[in-house]
Amino acid sequence: MVYSSFCRLVLWLAALIALWSSGLGYALYAQDTTQVIQPLPLSATPDTVVTAADTVKQTFSPNKALLLSFVPGGGQWYNQQRWKTPLFAGSVAALGAATLVSRLQYNKYYNQYNKVLTNYASGIDDNTNLQAIQQKKQQSLRQFNLALNAMFVMYGVNLVDAYMNAHIKNDRLVPSPIRAAYRAMVAPGWGQATNKKYWKIPIVYAGFAAAGAGFYLNRKEYLRYKNEYLVRTRPGFYAPNNPDPSLAFLTDNNILIGRKNVYRRYVEISIIGGTLWYAVTVLDALIDAHLSDFDVSDDLSFRVSPFFTPAAAPLGVSGSSALGLSFNLTFAHKTNALRK
């Protein structure tokens, strides 16, 4: 199990490196860290002269920030968000330590559990409380999975935070689509609040609540049938509230397996639905910010007018006149404002 977890981590990191090297890293050093704006010509009036402090604006390379964030906190340091460096570095290190400790605990109880079962199979009297060992083994396994997944999530957030914040610092548009999308990724509804679409926030959380309720209820039924099957077929297996008296009428274990598989599919559908809803909320924030600069003014008008073009041709050449209708549609478009 330790080997497989280590392989999963290595493969995940290798995929990220391949992604960066395939297309994201080509401009790592092509982008200068400073962008110099040419000063106004000498004919400019004194009121329009730009100071030296305003002519130089620092820009950040998102690809370089992504590369440096492979060491947790490195990309945040590059983006001059240095208060985030100890946050990400410390979180990943703490979760890594928790993963290792919980894994060692699981291995300890796993070996004890197998030793007792081996003694039972060999006919050796063993008075060890097998139920207590199994409970500790299951608890340590849950802690290991939780710590491992949390470490992967935090490491991924570290990468995304560094890459997106480099883009956000370079974005001079108000409202910023990148900022709205990133905030929607960090906290559901935050991107909608950034776009001042507050009425969408209850809809966002209603979708997550529906997906969460479906996951909880279906997983509860899945564990119910799974534990009932294991209690009946695996000697020494312990599960709370099992055997379940309400399932005593199901004498065929194949029915238990069938229902367990059905609820497992429902659990997977709930997870997929929640993930898709999360993607929809991010896209909504992104598109809303993009479309916010389109504004149709009160001058919207539609006019139809006839026209007549008399014949005009050189001497000696026959010409023809034109008669028809002219359609004119007038509307205004507001451009994005620059951030001060």
- For residues 41 and 152, state if they share a domain: yes
Mean pLDDT of 187-196: 91
- For residues 13 and 95, state if they share a domain: yes
Does 59 score more than 90 pLDDT? no
Does 309 score more than 90 pLDDT? no
**From CA 338, how far away is CA 174, in angstroms rounded?**
6
Count of the separate structural domains present in the chain: 3
pTM given for the model = 0.58
- For residues 80 and 223, state if they share a domain: no
Please write the tens of the pLDDT for every residue from 110-130: 998 888 888 877 877 777 777
Half-sphere exposure of residue 252, counting CA atoms within 13 Å on the CB side?
4
Which of 170, 187, 219 is the last residue in one of the domains?
A: 170
- For residues 27 and 159, state if they share a domain: yes
Does 60 score more than 70 pLDDT? yes
Which of 170, 203, 223 is the last residue in one of the domains?
A: 170
Of the listed ranges 21-35, 113-127, 143-157, 240-254, the one predicted with least confidence: 21-35
Which of 142, 170, 198 is the last residue in one of the domains?
A: 170
Please write the tens of the pLDDT for every residue from 63-108: 898 999 999 999 999 998 889 999 999 999 999 999 999 999 999 9
Per-residue pLDDT, 199 = 94
3-state SS, one letter per residue, for the chain? CHHHHHHHHHHHHHHHHHHHHHHHCCCCCCCCCEEECCCCCCCCCHHHCCCHHHHEEECCCHHHHHHHCCCCCHHHHHCCCCCHHHHHHHHHHHHHHHHHHHHHHHHHHHHHHHHHHHHHHHCCCCCCCHHHHHHHHHHHHHHHHHHHHHHHHHHHHHHHHHHHHHHHHHCCEECCHHHHHHHHHHCCCHHHHHCCCHHHHHHHHHHHHHHHHHHHHHHHHHHHHHHHHHHHHCCCCCCCCCCCHHHCCCCCHHHHHHHHHHHHHHHHHHHHHHHHHHHHHHHHHHHHHHHCCCCCCCCCEEEEEEEEECCCCCCCCCCCCEEEEEEEEECCCCCCEECC
- For residues 157 and 206, state if they share a domain: no
- For residues 20 and 64, state if they share a domain: yes
- For residues 201 and 124, state if they share a domain: no
Strand partners, 325: 306
- For residues 222 and 325, state if they share a domain: no
Please write the tens of the pLDDT for every residue from 133-180: 888 888 999 999 999 999 999 999 999 899 888 888 887 666 788 888
Task: Report how far Cα 6 is from the mean position of its chain's Cα atoms.
Answer: 23
- For residues 54 and 38, state if they share a domain: yes
Average pLDDT of the residues of the chain = 77
- For residues 1 and 80, state if they share a domain: yes
Residue 309 belongs to domain spanning: 301-313+320-338
Per-residue pLDDT, 312 = 56
Does 205 score more than 70 pLDDT? yes
- For residues 20 and 164, state if they share a domain: yes
Residue of 48, 281, 64, 255 whose CA lies nearest to 163 = 64
- For residues 28 and 137, state if they share a domain: yes
